[in-house]
């Protein structure tokens, strides 16, 4: 208890210091292209980090995972609920008939969608090595999102990151438990704008290429620990702790255009003007635990697990905390070692998903929502995500 109390006191002082200059900051989402395995379980993964997803959740997982090589992971996400996605698919002609200069009646559907729910998509792709205490990855994360009162005035974000993860973890035998301690660094080249007009995105390629964006470099650090108590009379328990983007990760941004970024694959010479504000990923403290019952000889048939996380960002909103936006609960049940059913609670929103593993092919899907506001229920960003991966 004393350890956790100290952590919260330190985080409180840090947040007060940050809040004093928060008006000159723009907070960016983290570089964390996690798979539907994580999002289906409410993003509660701190204490069970393993495999490819350990690269973006807790570096301590590098020494507790069997060797896992991900030759390719490709993930697509539609930021919509199942009901909204059905409406989009049944009204595809509305998108085909819309352009920046001719807003006919087919645009009504899109305007209603944007004003009521918001619209967006994301694409993640990567390769990775996790095991033998080492974690290595190269990954691309792209995300766009827009929501507004009407179609013409709606602006949104475009966020693209190409990054690497290089990390190492060591196990320590404490006799009564095994402690894993890991550290990683993730250099990133990022392109970001939060003021792109939706009509520009849906309009001509020239309009899209001329969109002003910020592009630049940043390097983040993560430190994590996992305490594995092994099998006890009440089952197998683990506890996890992680510091994401230690000290906050600041980007050296300069202004350019989306067309220049596309032509240079994201590596634009920093010749444009620098922003007046500072763009950064805030530091996040993660605390987690997991429980896995002893199924004995039945474990090969059915293998359940439960997890819980608190993920606390150290930014200006910390001075007005919302417990629900910190809380992540999840679990999965694996049947016959190849079919997994997952569910959870992410920031007050229910999540669900499944996974199928066939030889080296791994397919995972999830339905979830993230909270973009300070409190649960303010601004949900729903997602339907599917990943296909080649893993050994």
Crossing angle between the packed helical segments 82-90 and 107-116, to the nearest 10 degrees: 170
Is residue 74's pLDDT more than 50?
yes
Q: Give the pLDDT band of residue 104 (cuts 50, 70, 90).
A: low
Give the rounded percent of residues in the chain with a pLDDT score beyond 70: 80
Distance of CA 229 to the CA centre of its chain: 28
Q: Give the model's confidence band at 243: pLDDT under 50 very low, under 70 low, under 90 confident, else very high.
A: very high
* Strand partners for 203: none
Break the chain into its structural domains and give their ranges. 2-391
Task: Identify the top-confidence range among 115-119, 261-265, 382-386.
Answer: 382-386
CATH number of 2-391, picked from 2.30.30, 3.30.70, 1.20.120, 2.40.160: 2.40.160
Tokens describing residue 70: 């991900």
User: Does 318 have pLDDT greater than 60?
Assistant: no
Please report the pLDDT score of residue 60 as a whole number: 98
Task: Report d(CA 110, CA 267) in Å as an integer.
Answer: 34
Q: How confident is the model at residue 67 (pLDDT cuts 50, 70, 90)?
A: very high
Q: Worst-scoring range by mean pLDDT, 11-20, 53-62, 244-253, 302-311?
A: 11-20
Q: Measured between alpha carbons, how far is 119 from 151 in angstroms, rounded to an integer?
A: 11
**Three-class secondary structure of residue 326 per DSSP:** helix
DSSP for 61-127 reads: GGGTS--EEEEEEEEEEE-S-HHHHHHHHHTHHHHHT--SS---TTHHHHHHHHHHT-EEEEEEEEE
Tokens of 179: 């402690």
pLDDT at 225: 98
DSSP letter at 275? P
The pLDDT tens digits of the residues spanning 334-364 come to 999 999 999 999 999 999 999 999 989 999 9
Confidence (pLDDT) at 167: 98
**What are the backbone angles phi and psi of residue 275, rounded to the nearest 5°?**
-70, 155
Compute the mean pLDDT over every residue in the chain, rounded to the nearest whole number: 85
Position with higher pLDDT, 134 vs 109: 134
β strands within the chain, DSSP E = 25-27, 68-78, 119-131, 134-146, 155-173, 178-197, 212-232, 235-244, 249-250, 252-257, 278-281, 284-292, 302-313, 327-335, 339-346, 349-358, 361-371, 380-391
Q: What pLDDT sits at residue 314?
A: 84
Q: How many CB atoms lie within 10 A of CB 165?
A: 26
Region 266-290 average pLDDT: 89
* 109-118, 248-257, 302-311: range with lowest mean pLDDT: 109-118
- What is the pLDDT at residue 265? 76
Q: What band does 201 get if pLDDT is binned at 50, 70 and 90?
A: low
Q: Which helix (H) or strand (E) holds 206?
A: helix 205-209
pLDDT of residue 106: 54
Lowest-confidence segment of 26-40, 76-90, 235-249, 270-284 by average pLDDT: 76-90
Percent of the chain whose pLDDT exceeds 90: 57
**What's the pLDDT at 170?**
97
Query: Residue 94: exposed, middle, or buried by beta-carbon count in 10 A (0-12, 13-18, 19+)?
Result: buried
User: CA-CA distances (angstroms) from residue 217 to 57, 179, 184, 268, 277?
Assistant: 21, 34, 17, 10, 15
* Polymer length of the chain: 392
Q: Is the pLDDT of residue 257 over 80?
A: yes
* Listed residue (50, 14, 68) closest to 318, CA to CA: 14
Predicted local distance difference test score (pLDDT) of residue 65: 76
Res. 305: pLDDT tops 50: yes
Distance, CA of 25 to CA of 251 (rounded, Å): 11
Residue 105 has pLDDT above 90, yes or no: no
What tens digit of pLDDT does each residue of 148-171 get? 766 666 778 889 999 999 999 999
pLDDT on residue 11: 42
């Amino acid at each position: 208890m004393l350890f956790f109390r100290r952590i919260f006191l330190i985080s409180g002082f840090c947040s007060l210091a940050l809040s004093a200059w928060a008006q000159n900051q723009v907070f960016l989402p983290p570089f964390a292209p996690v798979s539907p395995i994580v999002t289906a379980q409410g993003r509660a993964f701190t204490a069970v980090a393993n495999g490819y997803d350990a690269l973006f959740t807790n570096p301590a997982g590098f020494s507790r995972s069997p060797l896992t090589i991900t030759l390719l992971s490709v993930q697509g996400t539609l930021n919509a609920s199942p009901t909204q996605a059905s409406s989009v698919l049944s009204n595809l002609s509305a998108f085909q008939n819309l352009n920046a200069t001719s807003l006919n009646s087919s645009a009504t559907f899109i305007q209603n969608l944007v004003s009521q729910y918001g619209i967006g998509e994301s694409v993640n792709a990567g390769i990775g090595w996790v095991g033998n205490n080492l974690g290595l990855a190269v990954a691309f994360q792209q995300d766009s999102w827009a929501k507004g009162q009407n179609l013409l005035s709606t602006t949104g974000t475009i966020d693209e990151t190409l990054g690497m993860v290089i990390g190492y973890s060591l196990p320590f035998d404490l006799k009564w438990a095994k402690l894993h301690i890991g550290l990683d660094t993730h250099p990133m080249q990022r392109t970001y704008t939060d003021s792109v007009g939706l009509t520009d995105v849906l309009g001509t390629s020239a309009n899209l290429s001329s969109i002003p964006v910020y592009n630049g470099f940043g390097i983040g650090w993560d430190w994590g620990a996992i305490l594995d108590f092994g099998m006890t009379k009440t089952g197998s328990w683990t506890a996890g702790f992680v510091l994401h983007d230690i000290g906050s990760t600041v980007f050296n941004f300069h202004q350019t255009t989306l067309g220049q970024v596309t032509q240079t694959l994201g590596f634009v010479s920093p010749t444009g003007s620098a922003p007046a504000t500072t763009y950064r990923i805030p530091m996040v403290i993660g605390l987690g635990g997991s429980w896995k019952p002893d199924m004995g000889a039945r474990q090969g048939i059915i293998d359940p697990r439960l997890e819980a996380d608190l993920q606390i960002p150290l930014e200006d909103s910390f001075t007005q905390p919302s417990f629900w936006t910190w809380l992540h609960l999840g679990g999965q049940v694996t049947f016959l070692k190849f079919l997994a059913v997952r569910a959870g609670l992410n920031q007050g929103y229910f999540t669900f998903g499944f996974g199928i593993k066939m030889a080296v092919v791994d397919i995972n899907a999830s339905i979830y929502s993230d909270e973009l506001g300070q409190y649960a229920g303010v601004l949900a960003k729903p997602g339907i995500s599917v990943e296909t991966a080649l893993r050994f």
